């Protein structure tokens, strides 16, 4: 199988660079940095025939929640299964359990 290169993030927005009104649903007004890096990881997973090993090394405890959230929105059930296993088996520990618990509540069907 040929490797498919996924491009680096296309653009970044910083909240402090935006002038004008504040719409909390507009990514330009979000705090921090917004990029398409997460989507690129998901696309890479799909392009590699849903082979989780293609992106495993790119997933850390710091970015797994963002990747999980985007995979949830995109309804990538296979990726969600892999991410859930990774969170439980590799990333979950007493120091970050409350953060993962909060993230789970936020994506639950009740919200």
What tens digit of pLDDT does each residue of 18-29 get? 444 444 444 444
What tens digit of pLDDT does each residue of 45-74 get? 999 999 999 999 999 988 998 899 899 888
pTM of model > 0.85: no
**Domain boundaries defined on the chain:** 31-106
Q: Count CB-CB contacts under 10 A for residue 79.
A: 22
What tens digit of pLDDT does each residue of 76-102 get? 999 999 999 999 899 888 888 888 788
């Amino acid at each position: 199988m040929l490797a498919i290169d996924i491009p680096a993030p296309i653009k970044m927005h910083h909240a402090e660079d935006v002038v004008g009104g504040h719409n909390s649903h507009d990514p330009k007004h979000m705090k921090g940095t917004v990029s398409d890096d997460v989507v690129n990881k998901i696309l890479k997973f799909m392009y590699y025939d849903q082979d989780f090993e293609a992106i495993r090394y790119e997933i850390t405890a710091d970015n797994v929640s963002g990747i999980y959230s985007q995979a949830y929105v995109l309804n990538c059930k296979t990726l969600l299964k892999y991410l859930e296993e990774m969170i439980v088996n590799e990333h979950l520990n007493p120091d970050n359990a409350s953060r993962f618990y909060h993230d789970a509540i936020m994506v639950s069907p009740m919200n």
